[in-house]
Amino acid sequence: MTKRAPVSLTPEEIAAVRAWVIHEDEHVLAFNKPSGLSSQGGRIQAHTLDDLLWAFMRSNGKRPELVHRLDRDTSGVIIAARTKPAAGFLGKAMQARRFRKTYQALLSAAPEPRAGTIDTPLMRQEIGRESYTRAVTADTPGAQAALSRYRTLSASEEGALVELDPATGRMHQLRVHMASIGRPMAGDVRYGGALTFAGRAAPRLMLHASRLVFPHPSGGYVTVEAPLPEDFLALKAAAGL
């Protein structure tokens, strides 16, 4: 693992990141990441989840490493490897697509059909200092294959709750795929989502990584689930979902 200087954290930050732990063993840490927290990097001058992992620094000066990322505004399950062998194992497992990710999202209306597969290539673009992804045709230079499955869990006059399963891991994949079928996610300003849902404000992207199934370094598979955050639950209830 990379040797980096520890980040100085406040007692409040340490307490917060420890409170987000939803699974812990000798190899892996899993967190229920709140919306608004960057996984890594980012231009916002605030601590990222990657920085906050210094709260788990071991006596040898090393600390856990994130295995994957979530968009800043997406909440839910994200895992970190506690040791170098675990990081190597999980990194290879993710490249081999052995991770099964399940998300939930709020849409202004149910998709038609209510369940299906979106097999639309995507391409990443830099516009100014921002990165975007757009749906393109397969013959577009730079196009990358992308596959998402979705199913409607419940729907009302006010909106719909859908479950999403990305078979590939492109940047903003689920957001762009749902927008490409005319169903952008509530609060997703970047890709055309409305800022209101069921008559209430949707001030952020309503996308939550609810479950992750992954192969464990010591054998077998582990399933980690993250409960829906309060703002998501409130909008879901407002729509009668």
Q: What are the residues whose beta carbons fall under 8 Å from the beta carbon of 9, sequence distance 6 or more?
A: 17, 47, 51, 52, 54, 55
Q: How far apart are CA 39 and CA 223, in angstroms?
A: 21
- In Å, how far from its chain's centre is CA 34? 10
DSSP letters spanning 104-142: EEEESS--SSSEEEE---EEEEEETTEEEEEE--TTSTT
Dihedral sign for Cα atoms in the order 47, 53, 57, 60: negative
Q: Distance between CA 124 and CA 126 in Å, rounded?
A: 7
Residues labelled catalytic: 71
Identify the residue whose tokens are 């999202």: 105
- From residue 58, give the alpha-carbon distance in Å to each of 10, 64, 158: 18, 9, 49
Task: Note whether 123 and 142 are within 8 A (CB).
Answer: yes
Alpha carbon 14 to chain centroid, angstroms? 22
